Amino acid sequence: MAERIGVYVCECGPNIKDAMDLDEVVTFVQGLENVVLTKAFGLLCAQEGQELIGKDIKEHDLTRVVIAACSPKEHEKTFRQCLEKAGLNPFLLQIANIREQCAWVVKDKSLATDKAKAIIHAAVRRVAYHEPLEVKEIACQPHALVVGAGMAGISAALTLAQKNRKVYLVEKLPCIGGKVACYEDVFPSLECASCILDPILDEVLHNEHIEILTLTEVQEVLGFYGNFLVKVTKKARFVDTETCIGCGACLETCPVTVKNEYNEGLDERKAIYIPYAGALPNVAAIDKKHCLRWQGEACSACREACPFGSITYEDTDQVRQLRVGAIVLATGFDLFDPARAPQYGYGKVEDVYTSLEFERLVNSTGPTQGKIVLRNGQVPEKIALVHCVGSRSGKFHEYCSTVCCMYLLKFAHQVTRQLSGVSILGFYSDLCLPGKEAQGFFNKISQEGNIQWLHMKEPDSIEITQADGKTLIRFTDVHGSPREVTSDMVVLAPAMEGARDAGAMAQIFDISQGAGEGFFAEENSQIAPVSTAIEGIFIAGCAQGPKDIQSSVAQGQAAAGRILSRLVPGEKLALEPVTAEVDEDLCCGCKLCVGLCSYKAITCDNLKNNVAINKVLCRGCGTCAAACPSGAIKAHHFTDTEVSEEIRGLLRQG
């Protein structure tokens, strides 16, 4: 192989120069096969260094370049651009890292000199086999799909819409706003939740760029970043959203009464319903499962009562195909079911509530119009707040749900404000109060009312039972002593888990989920928290992990930002040039690679009996190439030849 390789050894100030015998290194490199030019230089990354390389490439007809300097993470891009400017394909470069991997870690000068020689030899052997790679571009669709219209989803949608992107906002419920819309107040400001939320929801409802699809679920996703094709089913509402004004006349005449899931089952609703007072859009919906017309009866009470002729029994489910470039999954959370841990008495002891039930109980649009009362209608004198139900537990979830301490403090405030003289028992084993506001909030609420803090030994050192009409709480305190108290009402703070249907979503979108807790797995928890292994599919809010409103909004906006920065209308999407490729003449169709690809990039053609790798989706991770049993998949830039030559060079074999 007759390549003309230029090798540049960077002194990197004293970093490399002082750590080894550079003259010896240069002399060694000069004697290597194909090397036509070897130069040591003070600081290659500086302008003069880059200019020198560019000039040499042209003057000496270099066909390959090796830079012996710092880590490729630091300057590979710089030097690739340098090659490109000089008319050489940027992938005909190899970096020999003699700083981080040699100068900085080998103390003995002669050992460092030997090691630098080996590293450069490896690079010289490898670069001779580099192939020029081309960066391809494809046209992309700038529209986006947001799944879930809670805080994270609407934040993403609004941010995208600000830049005039068309956003499809898909929500499986008849109304938008997510869990926050069910709260009375929010912590730590203790502002009224609907005062914060309603203007935002109005903005979403009236934004010309956002198309809201309520009662809608995603069925199937095809395609890839920049070009997704998403099939959604919009369930029939049987009420015309254009003409219904939410007057509620239909609700009064409907003869069917069922448990109201929007009030956590604490009261009842009709078969035609508005989820809760103030739900947006303020439009009724018919619950087909319970409406008499679908049970074979000829009821039309709601249609008769409707003053606007808005009832449309003939509605059918609609399937739609949405073309979008990127997707944000903001499907939120559900609570751990405390009945799974019988010690909490949930479902057996009458006045044990989950936090979401209590949110509705204390809400002015809730089942008691915000009055905190027991199931028998009496006003409680003592209320127990139990932290970490299913969180931080060896049995259920190891993680802390991060918001429970804060909302239980909010509950303490709401209780104290409403019921003078009430006593509050706080059962905790540790308090989680991070950040700039939480400790102050705790200090403020602790002084406000009559709160007795009961420090438990473990998060679950507690048992709640019913005894003599009273709720009896036995617990082990922090010193290990058994204690017991009674309470009228108990509010549990169950762990946050990924939404119940997150598993199905994960399958549809082919993204990973954490084991057991149901949250979607991010690409990297530190530096890529809103992207996933599938390019173009982002996650935001509690779908990614437990978090408060502030963080959910931030993630929604972050996901939108990622989309806005890359999917620019009219611009093309640059594809990863370091990808894998299948040699159809060698592929035997064993299909082993198909299930291994994290990016869904490999498809199987059973008729042709081979596989194909989608260049847009492939990120060049190399998993398939390593697994391909017949060597039919080649990972560009990491071919067997390149890697084995590199190893030979490192071992200084001839």
Partner 1 sequence: MTGKPKIALYWCSSCGGCEESVIDLAEDLLTVTAAVDIVFWPVALDFKYKDVVAMNDGEITATLINGAIRMGEQEHMAKMLRKKSRLVIAHGSCAHLGGVVGLANFYRREDLLSRLYQEVPTINNPQGILPQLETIESGRKVKLPDFHDTVKTLDQVVEVDYTIPGCPPTPELIKEAMMMVLEDRLPPRGSVLAEKKALCDTCPRRDSKPDKLRITEFKRVYETEWDPEKCFLAEGIICLGPATRGGCNARCINANMPCRGCFGPTDDVRDQGAKSSSFLASIIDVTDKEALKKIVDAIPDPGGLFYRYGLASSILKGKMTRGRS
Q: Does position 632 bind partner 1 by CB under 8 A?
A: yes
User: At its nearest, how many Å lie between partner 1 and the CB of residue 650?
Assistant: 15
Structure-token pair, residue 335: 């609570």
Which CB sits closer to partner 1, 229 or 596? 596
| Stretch 557-586 residues interacting with partner 1 (CB under 8 A) | 583, 585-586
User: At its nearest, how many Å lie between partner 1 and the CB of residue 133?
Assistant: 19
User: At its nearest, how many Å lie between partner 1 and the CB of residue 312?
Assistant: 43
Question: How many Å apart are CA 329 and CA 559, to the nearest integer?
Answer: 9
3-class DSSP assignment, residue 186: strand
Q: In Å, how far are 72, 632, 640 from 66, measured between CA atoms?
A: 11, 29, 19
Pick one of 245, 478, 626, 651: the residue that binds partner 1 (CB under 8 A): 626
Whose tokens are 């050992």? That residue is: 111
Number of residues that bind partner 1 (CB under 8 A): 26
For residues 263 and 351, the answer to whether their CB atoms sit within 8 Å is no
Q: What is the side-by-side strand order in the sheet with 64-69?
A: 35-41, 5-10, 64-69, 93-97
Question: How many Å apart are CA 608 and CA 494, to the nearest integer?
Answer: 53
User: At its nearest, how many Å lie between partner 1 and the CB of residue 613?
Assistant: 15
Peptide bond into 188 cis (omega under 30): yes
Q: What is the DSSP letter of 194?
A: H
Pick one of 374, 521, 578, 590: the residue that binds partner 1 (CB under 8 A): 590
Pick one of 46, 605, 629, 653: the residue that binds partner 1 (CB under 8 A): 629
| Stretch 216-255 residues interacting with partner 1 (CB under 8 A) | none
Which CB sits closer to partner 1, 132 or 629? 629
Burial readout 427-461 (b: 16 or more C-beta within 10 A, e: otherwise): bbbebbeeeeebeebbeebeeebebeebebbebbb
Q: Does position 591 bind partner 1 by CB under 8 A?
A: yes
Stretch that binds partner 1, among 57-65, 195-203, 482-490, 592-600 (CB under 8 A): 592-600
Q: In Å, how far are 262, 536, 589 from 609, measured between CA atoms?
A: 52, 29, 5
Whose tokens are 């057991």? That residue is: 516
Question: How many Å apart are CA 142 and CA 325, to the nearest integer?
Answer: 5
Q: Does position 514 bind partner 1 by CB under 8 A?
A: no
User: At its nearest, how many Å lie between partner 1 and the CB of residue 236?
Assistant: 35
Element spanning 251, H or E: helix 249-253
User: At its nearest, how many Å lie between partner 1 and the CB of residue 651?
Assistant: 12
User: At its nearest, how many Å lie between partner 1 and the CB of residue 506?
Assistant: 15
Q: In Å, how far are 82, 136, 353, 594, 600 from 64, measured between CA atoms?
A: 12, 22, 70, 35, 34
User: At its nearest, how many Å lie between partner 1 and the CB of residue 627?
Assistant: 4
Q: Does position 643 bind partner 1 by CB under 8 A?
A: no
User: At its nearest, how many Å lie between partner 1 and the CB of residue 610?
Assistant: 9
Q: What is the DSSP letter of 102?
A: I
Pick one of 589, 598, 612, 614: the residue that binds partner 1 (CB under 8 A): 589
Pick one of 45, 200, 627, 650: the residue that binds partner 1 (CB under 8 A): 627
User: At its nearest, how many Å lie between partner 1 and the CB of residue 605?
Assistant: 11
What character string, x for contact with partner 1 (CB under 8 A) and - otherwise, covers 595-624? xx-------x-x--x-------------x-
Pick one of 250, 587, 613, 621: the residue that binds partner 1 (CB under 8 A): 587
For residues 151 and 549, the answer to whether their CB atoms sit within 8 Å is yes
| Stretch 381-420 residues interacting with partner 1 (CB under 8 A) | none
| Stretch 124-143 residues interacting with partner 1 (CB under 8 A) | none
Q: Does position 504 bind partner 1 by CB under 8 A?
A: no
For residues 352 and 532, the answer to whether their CB atoms sit within 8 Å is no
**Distance from chain centroid for Cα 488:** 40
Burial readout 128-152 (b: 16 or more C-beta within 10 A, e: otherwise): bbbeebeeeeeebbbbbbbbbbbbb
| Interface with partner 1 (CB under 8 A) | 583, 585-592, 594-596, 604, 606, 609, 623, 626-632, 634, 640, 644
